[in-house]
Structure 1
Amino acid sequence: MCSRYSEDCYIQAVNEVQNCTWQKRPQEYSRFRFFLSSCCNAVNNFIVSQNNTSLGSNITYEVESKKNILIAEDIYKMLPKSQPFDGFPFKQCAVVGNGGILTNSSCGAEIDQSDFVFRCNLPPIWGNAVADVGNKTDLVTVNPSIIALKYGKLNEMKAAFLRNLTSYGYSFLLLPAFSYSSNTAISFEVHHLLKKYQAKQRAIFFHPNYLKSLAQFWRGRGVRAYRLSTGFMITSAAIELCEDVKLYGFWPFSKNLNGKPISHHYYDNQLPKPGFHAMPKEFYQVLQLHYKGVLKLQIGACLKR
């Protein structure tokens, strides 16, 4: 199937999938979840916590493997005692990517009915977008580059940052504080800012060991990239943390199912750095999981209820 990862091949493959009724296959789901948890163990290791990281220990950075950071008392106090998600395992989870395929999808209401909603990189969930993407958010990832570019590293634009966060309700903000050493200070700043202003949101941090194990897991399945995309990381965690997983907005191609051009994101057309992620290879894996009944991939419009 699409060994060269061509857009037209994928569009044809997905159109064929759309003609079939999707069914969850519990045995396939349990089998894949077992392999994933044996390798990566999101239940205990997804987030840096006091349970999996002791005071006075050193954490090695995910990407900069020769660098580490001492978990001194000030850092230790930032960490939740254990994995902070109440209600685990969640029944129905929505993992919402930011693909332009979401435009005019009318998926918002369906997404908002999920028990737990994951989002990526502080996407706009207000105004006209709500009908397509919903606004319920339980966890949203925050790329430090967004903080730097959009909010001036929080030097002058703290108020704007806090104001925009109100759209995300009582959600977790998940930051890669220990992926690169350059991410650490800004991630900690977000944590302190939320606490200082008693924001509804709470900052938590990816565990670098989880991300390293996850990269190794997917590398063994052909996804070789400088780094996995955030959406793929979150999807992997969701398979361990949820009973049913449905993906929305996962579409790394420049055309929709009818071959018409679409923007890269539903809110802009900014393309990823060339060679940084392996999006078509990730999509191949997602499509395989859809075929096998492990998760459901929503492409195109949702049925209005």
Structure 2
Amino acid sequence: TEQISCLSASDSHFAVGLGLRLVSGQADACRRARATQRFLLLPWRVWNTYLNEKSLQLTETCKRLQDGFQTLSSKVKRYLESDYLQIIRNIQSCPWKRQEEEYENFRAKLASCCDAAQNFIVSQNNTPAGTNMSYEVESKNEILIRENIFNMFPVSQPFMEYPYNECAVVGNGGILNKSLCGAEIDKSDFVFRCNLPPITGNVSKDVGSKTNVVTVNPSIIKLKYGNLRKKKEIFLEDIATYGDAFLLLPAFSFRANTIASFKVYDTLKESRARQKVLFFHPKYLRNLALFWRTEGVTEFRLSSGLMITSVAVELCEHVKLYGFWPFSRTVKDTPVSHHYYDNNLPKRGFHEMPKEYRQILQLHLKGILKLQFSKCEIA
């Protein structure tokens, strides 16, 4: 950077501070430096008006973005992934702000239909012994809650400190790699995780280690742990990393889930493990599916991520989502794996926009919860 001779010494230092260089002629640099200096020296009232106008423009832009996204969500079913990533870039340009009224209204709607605080897990209070309980998906099939099954249930909902203040719902998306979100996640009052993900070793700096509830897909018990016959010790070693967390299983969604889920309960009880088993209540999950169907989510069954997010909104005052990312690339156009613990890439190109992710983005735009799209800020 060279000194600009048309300016005074102080003006020249100002121009240098702006990074102005004498490349094609100093007259233009002089004009730009003086114009900028005059702008910065405007009276505070003028500054205030300018900033307010800029803020209003940004607010209006973000409002248009929200309205436009709602229209897109209701009309567009197939799209290019690159187009959708541009939408997220636009969303990131809008500062996120919690909207208390939107949050309270949405929470009340959820509580009215589903009431997670009382109903999301099976307890002795909401499911007496002798009940014939219908399965969530195979609703024509029932299971008789005999005394031995009844004794597996907690007396009441075990979340004594409800409502929790800050809650983290941690998905398994590859977007978490190199995010450095671990410390932020671990500061949360309550942490939900999905499908027994790894949390030890190098990944902990990105995903944290604190866990209060972790969901377990019964298929993992069969495929990864051999129905807890030959690989029971490996299973116990793996779940030990979650401390005294609750393991949450959909025992009563399909009949095929029941035996595997009960096997997990028996294994933990026999080994006197620190972790406790909870079961999703099938009626809660049916009601939740009906709720999201009215919002446009028509998939055969909700993902565990959306189930847990719904629970968190009811049980927590502030909810932040990490690792929710169904795309093959980041907003900076770098490849991203499907899970943070593998190298498999999601399918990319022309496909159906995930209706669940649309809804989660809507909740973010409305200030109901916050989605973490990129690296976390390090304090």
> Partner residue of 2:372?
298
Helix, strand or coil for the counterpart of 2:225? helix
CA displacement 1:49-88 (0-9 Å, x = unmatched) = 0111011001100011111100000000000011111210
Q: Is the 8 A contact 1:249 1:298 kept in 2?
A: yes
1:54-73 aligned within 5 A? 54-73=128-147
Partner SS, residue 224 of structure 2: helix
Q: Which residue of 2 aligns with 1:98?
A: 172
Counterpart in the other structure of 1:198: 272
Unaligned residue ranges in structure 1 (runs of 5+): none
1:4 match = 77
Give the superposition deviation at 1:172: 0.3
Deviates more, 1:292-301 or 1:7-16: 7-16
For the structure 1 residues 13 and 279, does the alpha-carbon distance in structure 2 shift closer, same or farther, using more than 3 Å as the test? closer
Equivalent residue for 2:36? Answer: none
Work out whether residues 151 and 157 of structure 1, in 8 Å CA contact, stay in contact via their aligned partners in 2.
yes
1:263 aligns with 2:337: yes
Cα distance between partner residues in 2 of 1:153 and 1:270 = 25
Aligned to 2:213: 139
Between structures 1 and 2, the one with greater helix share: 2
Q: Which residue pairs with 2:235 in the alignment?
A: 161
Structure 2: how far apart are the matches of 1:37 and 1:272?
Answer: 34
Q: Give the structure 2 partner of residue 15 of structure 1.
A: 89
> Does structure 1 residue 81 correspond to structure 2 residue 155?
yes
Aligned-partner SS, 1:301: coil
* 1:62-121 CA-partner distances (Å, limit 9, x unpaired): 011111100000000000011111210100000000001111100000000000000000
Task: Check conservation: 2:181, 2:206, Cα contact below 8 A.
Answer: yes
Residue number in structure 1 paired with 2:281: 207
Deviation at 1:8, TM superposition (A): 2.0
Give the C-alpha shift of residue 279 in structure 1. Answer: 7.3
In 1, distance between residues paired with 2:341 and 2:269? 29
Dislocated runs of 4+, deviation >6 Å: none
- 1:31 matched to 2:105: yes
TM-score normalized by structure 2?
A: 0.77
Distance change (3 Å), C-alpha of 1:73 and 1:271: farther
Identity of aligned residues (%): 59
User: Deviations along 1:17-55, whole A, 9 cap, x unmatched?
Assistant: 212221111100000001111011101110000111011
Q: Judging changes above 3 Å, is the alpha-carbon distance between structure 1 residues 279 and 84 closer, same or farther for their aligned structure 2 residues? A: farther
1:178 to 233, 252, 257: 252
Consecutive unaligned residues in structure 2, runs of 5 or more: 1-68
How far apart in 1 are the matches of 2:344 and 2:124?
A: 37
Q: Does 1:248 align with 2:322?
A: yes
CA RMSD in angstroms comes to 1.5
The SS at the match of 2:319 is strand
Q: Which structure exhibits the higher relative contact order, with contacts defined as CA atoms closer than 8 Å and separated by 6 or more residues?
A: 1
| CA-CA distance at 1:14 after TM superposition | 1.4
Decide whether the 8 Å contact of 2:337 with 2:345 is kept in 1.
Answer: no
Shift of 1:154: 0.4
Give aligned pairs, total: 301
Is 1:43 aligned with 2:117? yes
Residues 47, 129 of structure 1: alpha-carbon distance in 2 compared, 3 angstrom cutoff:
same
1:232 aligned onto 2:306: yes
Query: Who wins on radius of gyration, i.e. which is larger?
Result: 2
Distance 1:5 1:255, change over 3 A: farther
Check conservation: 1:5, 1:280, Cα contact below 8 A: no
